[in-house]
Structure formats: structure tokens, C-alpha cells
Chains A and B, each alone.
Chain A
Amino acid sequence: DTGVSQDPRHKITKRGQNVTFRCDPISEHNRLYWYRQTLGQGPEFLTYFQNEAQLEKSRLLSDRFSAERPKGSFSTLEIQRTEQGDSAMYLCASSPREQVLNYGYTFGSGTRLTVV
């Protein structure tokens, strides 16, 4: 297992278009998190899954955002009708629930979204 994979690494889209990002976590990790990071800021929590269940969504996540984790494996984050304010790095991380208090999160390299 080579860690958390995110695809694509970069995405440029026109305002109003829909985009979808994919995250493949470490296979034995049952928790998966999505964060958003803008320049000069730390990662902001968006949502997290335990297996296939989405347990929490941040108030930052408007109705245009939706995330899924079918079968508790990979996850997708979709943004509908993108706005320029959605431009950011979208980070995915995973952790094992049983060891969450002993180990940190493993992050992917992120998907850089630019809305023009």
C-alpha cells in the first residue's frame, strides 16, 4: 500500500461547471476525512466517514458539495456549480479508528482546484 491517493492532482474548471475528486485511502483505514486548504491557511475540516457512513459535515460544506464513500473504500467529493471561491487545495486523509488517538492522519497530496 503506497498511502492515500488523490485524483486528479490539478483541475481547472470554468465557473458553473461540476467537478468530482477521488480519494483512495489506505486500505485498512476505516476513517476518511476531507479538508480544504486555501493559500496561507491551515486545512479546514469538511466532512468525515467511518466506513461508508458519513458521520459529520462542516457548516462550510454548502448544498453544492456532496461526498460519498460507497462500500467504505474510496471516496468522492463533488462540487456542483463551482464558484471562484471554491478554488483551493482539497485534501483527503485517512486513519484507523482504533488507533486514532495514537497515530496521526495520513494525508494525500491533494487536488488543486482552480475555478476561472
Chain B
Amino acid sequence: SQKIEQNSEALNIQEGKTATLTCNYTNYSPAYLQWYRQDPGRGPVFLLLIRENEKEKRKERLKVTFDTTLKQSLFHITASQPADSATYLCAGYGNNRLAFGKGNQVVVIP
């Protein structure tokens, strides 16, 4: 079955550093990958997407890459701030819907 895998361990990072999260997919080829932010008790909020024919996408301090050979996407938060502390979800689009990974918790330490 379609699977999106994220390392479920929390990432603790010092303010100002770059946080990097990994998303791997198996058993399908998503047309695009999306990244969401989720705060406790809230629904996910869309951040950005990257298509399979795009190598890299940027939005403000966020950068996403898509490597179809490795079947992997990397998500970077540069110059991280305490307000970036949240869970980040990777999702792959295929068969008319999104399949989500478990998410990665990021904690930015002041």
C-alpha cells in the first residue's frame, strides 16, 4: 500500500540553526508532495508543495527538495525560531487523495 514515512523522533534544535526533516515514500509515485504544520489540538496547515518534476521549492525560510530517485523529500527550516516549534507532516498525492506520514515534532530552543 502507499506509504509515507517520517522519522517519528523529535528534533530539538537551537534557535537560528537549520532544521532538516526527511520524508520517504514507498509503493507509489506521488505526483507531488506537500508539507503541513500542525500545532497541538489543531488541524494541519498547508505550507508548500513540490511537484515530481521540480527539484527544489522555497518559501520564505522554508525549502523543500524532491528526489524521485531516492524517493525522498527533505524539508528545511532556516534561521529557526521558537515559534517554528510544531509537528511537521509530509503528504503524498496519489489516487485523488493525500496520504500522510506520522509527522516530525520540531522543538526550537531559545
Q: Which residues of A contact B (CB under 8 A)?
A: 4, 33, 35, 40-45, 48, 55-56, 91, 93, 100-110, 112
Contact = CB atoms under 8 A, between A and B. Distances in A.
Nearest to A97: B96
A42 B101 CA distance: 5
A105 B46 contact: yes
Interface of B: 4, 6, 8, 31-32, 34, 36, 41-47, 49, 51, 89, 91, 93, 95-103
Given A40-B8, A104-B34, A45 B98 contact: yes
B100 A42 contact: yes
A42 B4 contact: yes
Contacts of A93: 43
Contacts of B47: 104
A56 B96 contact: yes
A89 B42 CA distance: 9
Given A104-B36, A109-B42, A110-B43, A41 B93 contact: no
